[in-house]
Structure 1
């Protein structure tokens, strides 16, 4: 394991005892929401140790060698204590060893961060309630080509990273773009090591629900040499991961209120004996099983050259190569927006508010789906940095970067149709129940759902979608810093930056192919659920027939197998696959011109104060290209209106804006180890490229009674801006012990929301109106809250017990933001919490680090939150996620200074994820994912 020399003041024992008493009192005397986060942060060579501020006390400290979790905690704490801004860090305990295998899951241990999971793995983060987060690697841009602006954190193997820094109120020299904050991923460099370094690790990861095991490996080799042209260092870091996942899901369809003013609903209420009472019925239930895998390849090659003591060059190449794939079985009995028919001869149960609890329905349509989703993302990042220090006071830096990212995706779904004679459904307070009772006579169209004859009446259909995104960026910057000796003004920094970025996204509409006859028997696959689904914890059908999943996983083979069953007019198109039309392409270009200046200052006498004040000015130029798809109305041969020929009319829009972003960071050294930070700044986040997409499809013919509708992006969106205030009180009583509390307030201007308005078009036959839904900048929103936390080792305890430690934090975030989907009874827009924001969240981690043993147990919890104010497939009802917590743990034994074994587990509590429509008594889904158990061997020389 990596070692690190730190100094522990002798009075740390007294401080640790005070901290332990405070933590114990808060846990015993408060509600569960006040339990707090513990992040076991792993280690790297530390750049700034930072003493207590008292030279006499520092002189009386004793030196001890600290390794493992202690070293990582010390390094992360030192970064937080000595930074110019409010920052939290995670530092790798050893090469290739963040405390969590996934970057997003490691970040969830930091106060103020909440994550979203994608098929069991952390994928997206929000900082203090805002998902508009900037991602960087080594202080430079990094992104996944997916119409967004940030890196998909699930793409990057965590083994490549030395650490992760989270800036919550950046200063003016830091690149703009994150309202919530900035996440900087740090890789290692050859000059980080004294000489030759070799580290290798291999893992086996077992996924218990899927019942499969996957490999993982990491190799780092680094060395540095003195040559005739100066010192040269080379580092190569390679990471390979394979992971798997299985996700079992049981879902209720949306609950609809019976409207007794409608005759059919009145008859249903009467048949249920509930005339005059509120009655909410779900329109079906479904089960799903997703079986998938991920593969990550990471490459980091860094070359450093120091020709003299004043000049240093660094060239680096970083590659992230990510593949994601799943094939699923989903089986739904549902009626959509159409009424569902109860079996009045069977008992029904409702709660006191009229919400359905259990009952039986008749003649419910059934879909049996097999699908494929696949994504491959590759990001290549090339950078060159030069640092010149011509004098002790002056530092000049130049930096150039080129990024190219690509993402390719496919989505194909094979749908088989049938019918359930009887569907028994129960929701209750547990996992929903789904029992289908088929008619014994297949001639009635309600046959045994394990018999292909049951799918013959309406054979089914195939849906096909492809997409491709390419993003590139050139970025260059020049920075200068001049340091002053012995004055109030410590230094002045200034710099300029230029970027030229393009994003081209092709995304096809879903192609639909209806089957003209039943499939051959050998294309069906029997999937038995029985006691296997949801670990046997749910009453579900014995099984069902699906299109063969082995074929679905091969995209080309699926189309070839289904082509004989498509209509003659569609067969060749199905064989050829989906092709793009002009309006499938969204082309975006963006250039930025930035200048900044920062002054650092400080007072060393009396009350010590230091800080920085600065301003960043950025001009953004945006160019957007797309198409208006226009289908005019013409008169057919028989005199009736019909659609005319489609035309693609190019759309171009250019815009620019200049923003001034001031910032102020103050730090007051109140006493040894105790400091107060105050920060104020203005930040911005630019709209995602898909929100700027100008493509629109307008059809003039309107044969029905409803208004014409269309949707589009908005090339004239302006960035979101925020005024930010932060205060943080921090007490560092030892190198691995601290307590902190922070409060924050953000006023956000220009939240983007989809708004529908009437627009007028004319294709030559006279004007007509269309209801067009576009994203627009809305009203202001407010986010405020506080964070508290701390960490310590119990060094004051004797012997074995001194190896124990704890880290805890708690975050409270309150938000109000406009939502056009949320209205009161008078139709007025309401302010609601931000989507995906929990008001309460906490982490509690216990660890042990003494001798050869290092262990960690981590619990993360967050309260309920709004998933979406209007869910797709939810009947436009809001969907909420229930509160959730899970336990992860790891144990490392170091046999020699060069060899260690680690065993770790994720989601050991087998925690399910639950969602609901508006209130918990209307459940939407129950989702269960794998528990992951791993063993890792690691050698270091």
Structure 2
């Protein structure tokens, strides 16, 4: 199985070559154009009409060139046709943006290393109700969008909330079309690892009429997607250092023949096979009314309805934090640094889990906008919005347990190997890991549910007055008010132990060898699991397991897990905002320029409410000697409420110098803020008095006193536009972020009666400053100077370098001073290489995206608090469109054509964590437009 990999040095080299090629191509085009009659400037769109890839590139370039601020855009090639089917995956083509993937699809983005990104639809708030503040980009069908704009250093008239930047999703309006417009598309998507096909469709209808009360336009756009996914994963458990000062570890070192040598042992290996589906339904309905030439009203309803579900087979042979016992009679290998490479272990516990995870999110956005232009100089804009988001989630896991008599594990530099032996049970000839009799004890069930509701009312009024002055161009000012609430219920995990073996019909033997990881053989033949088809039905799972739990738990299991008072986190937030912005410029200065300067002042009031729970120690009985036995009593809840407020002034300055007609230099400086997520403000905490282990008492909570992150940011961008679809640019940026939020554990005292106890409580707090700096280079062009059909070729390339330093609460130097580490989820290097062809009826694109290694988390769950890194990764996507008639086109898309493997590791590559494969997707689309 071949894999495509690049080192950062090679990545930079490849990108440098690509950018240089673009520059040379642009230079050749400019020289050729110099000898020919001069064409109109690139922003004069009246001369030539283009379609397809050329039209989208031309439109995106025009937005970037003519904007008052630093912005990058993606524009749909046609109705319902963004360059990528997934919004996050389309955004990864923009310089400075890196995405995270969830089960093979792009799910979230970071701009210049910061995940604190504001999302909007048509310049208004939009969010998914999940305890956060932004929209889950995977929720929205991309067919609804006309384009996406990314603001990296916003001006004062843009809404605050993203120190990373602002992403605005733009939909269409009926007045965007000259008259009647109809577009329909239908697709079938095939997912090769899963072996399933799913449908996709889009329908847009729009028209406008002149009536006795003015011009009226109506548009309805509906997008529907069903997708499937399969993700195969093979993972090593964390590596633990054997301590020669510990008697048990010393004995292991002696048995391995490694006394006096540094030795790390992996504590097992695991398999995950995830099979799931997604469903997206998006609706955009808009009505526009222009009763006079000076007044335009727009009412719009946007709805995203997203369903996600997967059921998995997870099979682990591991010991966790407990010691793992080597088979000293078998050979072991280690690398030069003492890291385990291969060996055999005995009596390793097995968990075979079948689980279900679901999420259903619905966001409904109602808006009304009025734009009044009583004169050529004055424009007044009023806007009202109501938005409601609801999310329901559920997670349930059925656990079966067994023991591997012998586990052979090999990590090496490739996919981990997991072989369990003996292969057969001598008593009946069945496979050890495929015989239900070997899973008769230690079973259990975990149950968890979530429910979140978020609402917001928002109103704003903006006015702009334009001057005839040669220097002061306009003054713009506005006010905005929002009232937002967020209520999140998240249950604790309820556990039910199974008291006896299950009936045979509730077991399922699932194969691995020859099926998992595209036929990889270094895994067990299979495993025994609770039936997956039953797991996919939440109520049926509880009903099936009820006869096998203790009678005292049976009714609770049938009823399903509920919410305790401390499971609810309620937030209320009001903002009051005013801004003023002056636009200015001069054509007679040494260098013609324009710019804007402004300030945005925002006051935020936050109310946070929840519960503190206290459980006192009570006597629950006596032991055989008559001595009292103690336990934790019922939890007594006390309601708590915290009010806080803060006011911030956010200045901004943007300058654009026209060095020549085609070359411009932008400079920008601003201050931005990002508010804490609602989950971080959660005040709920439960304190238990009983401490049976004698270990340090501990608890965890949120922090309702958190303040927003603020960032001072500087940008410079040099842009050269040499044709309608040709440009090169280079940008540098610097951000100083104050108040990074990190979880800190510190002592807190709680009192029960006359007794006080100290607990180590983990809470998020505002930490020290961090710094992000870097540069971006890129460009795009069509090779119009080539003869004939060759002139249809074009290219786009960009490269981003980001260096970051952020405080880490867990990292200190020898003197105990806090150390700074790279931001999580941030690659230092990333690039895009895209080739186009657009000539006649054929339009094609080949796109490769690559990013260097990055920190997934500084403290991985189940990793022994070790950092986890994601290795460098690149992916190739492609599309080909044939326009049969001006109204009918066929498109074939391919995603993940390189079958890219995603790998993670513990700290250093020689300690691999996981190897993951996802589907390749092939889509065929028919599109009809009138």
TM-score tier, shorter chain, comes to over 0.9
1:169 aligns with 2:158: no
CA deviation after TM superposition for structure 1 residue 828, in Å: 3.4
Aligned residue number for residue 751 of structure 1:
740
1:376 aligns with 2:360: yes
Question: Match of 1:570, SS?
Answer: helix
1:651 aligns with 2:635: no
1:306 aligns with 2:290: yes
Aligned residue number for residue 32 of structure 1:
14
Q: 1:355 to 1:500 in 2, by over 3 A?
A: same
Aligned residue number for residue 473 of structure 1:
456
- Return the alpha-carbon distance in structure 1 between the equivalents of residues 407 and 839 of structure 2: 59
- Return the alpha-carbon distance in structure 2 between the equivalents of residues 697 and 36 of structure 1: 57
CA contact (8 A) 2:367 2:386 kept: yes
- Return the alpha-carbon distance in structure 2 between the equivalents of residues 28 and 429 of structure 1: 20
Aligned residue number for residue 737 of structure 1:
726
1:493 aligns with 2:476: yes
Aligned residue number for residue 194 of structure 1:
178
Question: Match of 1:535, SS?
Answer: coil
Aligned residue number for residue 785 of structure 2:
796
Aligned residue number for residue 623 of structure 1:
607
Question: Match of 2:540, SS?
Answer: helix
- Return the alpha-carbon distance in structure 2 between the equivalents of residues 287 and 33 of structure 1: 36
Question: Match of 1:70, SS?
Answer: helix
> Residue deviations 1:792-842, cap 9 Å, x none?
000000001100000000000000000112234554321000000000000
- Which shifted more, 628-637 or 94-103? 628-637
Match 2:579 to one of 581, 596, 599: 596
CA deviation after TM superposition for structure 1 residue 441, in Å: 4.8
1:462 aligns with 2:462: no
Q: 1:800 to 1:521 in 2, by over 3 A?
A: same
Match 2:811 to one of 818, 822, 836: 822
CA deviation after TM superposition for structure 1 residue 635, in Å: 4.8
Question: Match of 2:50, SS?
Answer: strand
Aligned residue number for residue 97 of structure 2:
113
Aligned residue number for residue 7 of structure 1:
none
- Return the alpha-carbon distance in structure 2 between the equivalents of residues 315 and 178 of structure 1: 27
CA deviation after TM superposition for structure 1 residue 486, in Å: 3.5
Q: 1:381 to 1:863 in 2, by over 3 A?
A: same
1:337 aligns with 2:326: no
Match 1:888 to one of 877, 886, 889: 877
1:515 aligns with 2:515: no
1:452 aligns with 2:436: yes
1:433 aligns with 2:422: no
Q: 1:30 to 1:141 in 2, by over 3 A?
A: closer
- Which shifted more, 642-651 or 369-378? 642-651
- Return the alpha-carbon distance in structure 1 between the equivalents of residues 908 and 116 of structure 2: 28
CA deviation after TM superposition for structure 1 residue 765, in Å: 2.7
Question: What is the RMSD of the two structures over their aligned residues, measured on CA atoms?
Answer: 1.9
CA deviation after TM superposition for structure 1 residue 707, in Å: 1.3
CA contact (8 A) 2:11 2:831 kept: no
Question: Match of 2:747, SS?
Answer: strand
1:545 aligns with 2:528: yes
Q: 1:378 to 1:927 in 2, by over 3 A?
A: same
CA deviation after TM superposition for structure 1 residue 35, in Å: 6.1
Q: 1:261 to 1:431 in 2, by over 3 A?
A: same
- Return the alpha-carbon distance in structure 2 between the equivalents of residues 688 and 186 of structure 1: 25
- Return the alpha-carbon distance in structure 2 between the equivalents of residues 486 and 831 of structure 1: 50
Aligned residue number for residue 3 of structure 1:
none
1:761-800 pair list within 5 angstroms: 761-800=750-789
Normalising by the residue count of structure 2, what TM-score does the alignment of the two structures yield? Answer: 0.95
Q: 1:36 to 1:478 in 2, by over 3 A?
A: farther
Question: Match of 2:272, SS?
Answer: strand
- Return the alpha-carbon distance in structure 2 between the equivalents of residues 677 and 104 of structure 1: 27
- Return the alpha-carbon distance in structure 1 between the equivalents of residues 611 and 466 of structure 2: 53
CA deviation after TM superposition for structure 1 residue 701, in Å: 1.5
CA deviation after TM superposition for structure 1 residue 667, in Å: 0.3
Question: Match of 1:66, SS?
Answer: coil
Aligned residue number for residue 19 of structure 1:
none
1:535 aligns with 2:528: no
- Return the alpha-carbon distance in structure 2 between the equivalents of residues 762 and 446 of structure 1: 58
> Residue deviations 1:542-577, cap 9 Å, x none?
111110000000000000000111011111100110
CA deviation after TM superposition for structure 1 residue 764, in Å: 1.6
CA deviation after TM superposition for structure 1 residue 260, in Å: 1.1
- Return the alpha-carbon distance in structure 2 between the equivalents of residues 935 and 368 of structure 1: 38
Aligned residue number for residue 213 of structure 2:
229
CA deviation after TM superposition for structure 1 residue 444, in Å: 13
- Which shifted more, 675-684 or 635-644? 635-644
Q: 1:604 to 1:513 in 2, by over 3 A?
A: same
Match 1:359 to one of 343, 346, 353: 343
- Return the alpha-carbon distance in structure 2 between the equivalents of residues 436 and 739 of structure 1: 57
Normalising by the residue count of structure 1, what TM-score does the alignment of the two structures yield? Answer: 0.94
Question: Match of 1:847, SS?
Answer: strand
Aligned residue number for residue 20 of structure 1:
none
Aligned residue number for residue 202 of structure 2:
218
- Return the alpha-carbon distance in structure 2 between the equivalents of residues 294 and 640 of structure 1: 50
CA deviation after TM superposition for structure 1 residue 439, in Å: 7.1
CA contact (8 A) 1:438 1:449 kept: no
- Return the alpha-carbon distance in structure 1 between the equivalents of residues 427 and 403 of structure 2: 12
- Give the total of aligned pairs: 900
- Return the alpha-carbon distance in structure 2 between the equivalents of residues 619 and 717 of structure 1: 15
Q: Any runs of at least 4 consecutive aligned residues in structure 1 with deviations exceeding 2 A, and if so which?
A: 27-30, 32-38, 55-65, 438-447, 633-645, 821-829
1:278 aligns with 2:262: yes
CA deviation after TM superposition for structure 1 residue 762, in Å: 1.2
- Return the alpha-carbon distance in structure 2 between the equivalents of residues 36 and 436 of structure 1: 49
CA contact (8 A) 2:150 2:168 kept: yes
1:720 aligns with 2:709: yes
Question: Match of 1:572, SS?
Answer: helix
- Return the alpha-carbon distance in structure 2 between the equivalents of residues 791 and 124 of structure 1: 25
1:904 aligns with 2:882: no
Structure 2 spans left out of the alignment, 5+ residues = 1-8, 23-33, 623-627
1:72-151 pair list within 5 angstroms: 72-151=56-135
CA deviation after TM superposition for structure 1 residue 279, in Å: 0.5
CA deviation after TM superposition for structure 1 residue 171, in Å: 0.2
Aligned residue number for residue 17 of structure 1:
none
- Return the alpha-carbon distance in structure 1 between the equivalents of residues 512 and 584 of structure 2: 67
CA contact (8 A) 2:15 2:797 kept: no
Q: 1:662 to 1:876 in 2, by over 3 A?
A: same
Question: Match of 2:95, SS?
Answer: coil
- Return the alpha-carbon distance in structure 2 between the equivalents of residues 641 and 801 of structure 1: 83
1:848 aligns with 2:831: no
- Return the alpha-carbon distance in structure 2 between the equivalents of residues 447 and 58 of structure 1: 76
CA contact (8 A) 1:34 1:842 kept: no
- Return the alpha-carbon distance in structure 1 between the equivalents of residues 256 and 376 of structure 2: 86
Aligned residue number for residue 40 of structure 2:
58
Aligned residue number for residue 587 of structure 1:
570
Question: Match of 1:533, SS?
Answer: coil
- Return the alpha-carbon distance in structure 2 between the equivalents of residues 506 and 921 of structure 1: 41
> Residue deviations 1:114-168, cap 9 Å, x none?
0000000000000000000000000000000000000000000000000000000
Aligned residue number for residue 655 of structure 2:
666
- Return the alpha-carbon distance in structure 2 between the equivalents of residues 444 and 852 of structure 1: 66
CA contact (8 A) 1:35 1:842 kept: no
CA contact (8 A) 1:626 1:695 kept: yes
CA contact (8 A) 1:33 1:841 kept: no
CA deviation after TM superposition for structure 1 residue 30, in Å: 6.2
CA deviation after TM superposition for structure 1 residue 429, in Å: 0.9
Question: Match of 2:545, SS?
Answer: helix
1:708 aligns with 2:697: yes
- Return the alpha-carbon distance in structure 1 between the equivalents of residues 540 and 83 of structure 2: 42
Match 1:682 to one of 666, 671, 675: 671
Structure 1 spans left out of the alignment, 5+ residues = 1-26, 41-51
- Return the alpha-carbon distance in structure 1 between the equivalents of residues 456 and 786 of structure 2: 54
Aligned residue number for residue 625 of structure 2:
none
Aligned residue number for residue 505 of structure 1:
488
